[in-house]
Amino acid sequence: MTSSASSPVSLAIAGYVAGRVKPEGLVALVSAAYYGDGGRGTRDGLKPLIDVIQRAAPGVVELAARPGGAGFAIRLAERPFSKQYEAELRRAAENYLLKNSLAVEGKGDGLVGRALAAIRRLFSASA
């Protein structure tokens, strides 16, 4: 996995699983990371989340001409996230966190290590 467990996207995903981030906030951040210029290297890991997002809210991003440059600018279309897909989004987010925690297992005793330990405890308690 190429993304860092302490990246803003990973932290937002963990916040969503913990109930601190609303689905719309997660959708905006994940979509921006996936479709934006900074998404290189993280697309594979975010693909399962994007698949759920696209089913729940097709057209979550809009492509626009980029002034003075090649390619497209990406704008997020603000729309509510369908409640019927929240359980599926949560499962995709949990799987993302599990894969990331396995990829960085033992690589941090500081904030990252504590965050991973908390995530593992959260998953153990909900199993």
Q: Is residue 97 one of the residues assigned to a domain?
A: yes
DSSP string, the chain: --S-TTSHHHHHHHHHHTTSS-HHHHHHHHHHHHHSGGGTTTHHHHHHHHHHHHHHSTT-EEEEEPTTSSSEEEEEPP-PPPGGGHHHHHHHHHHHHHHHHHHTTTS-SSHHHHHHHHHHHHHHHH-
Q: Mean pLDDT throughout 17-46?
A: 80
94/88 Cα distance (integer angstroms): 10
User: Quick check: is 3 in a domain?
Assistant: no
Residues 6+ apart with CB under 8 A from 44: 2
The arithmetic mean of pLDDT across residues 41-45, rounded, is: 69
Containing structural domain, residue 39: 8-126
Let me know if residue 2 belongs to a domain: no
Q: For the full predicted model, state whether its pTM sits above 0.75.
A: no
Predicted local confidence at residue 3, as pLDDT: 46
Average pLDDT, the chain: 76
pLDDT tens-digit readout, 67-93: 776 666 777 777 778 899 999 999 999
State the total domains in the chain. Answer: 1
Beta bridge partners of 65: 72
Residue 76 belongs to some domain of the structure: yes
The answer to whether residue 1 sits within a structural domain is: no
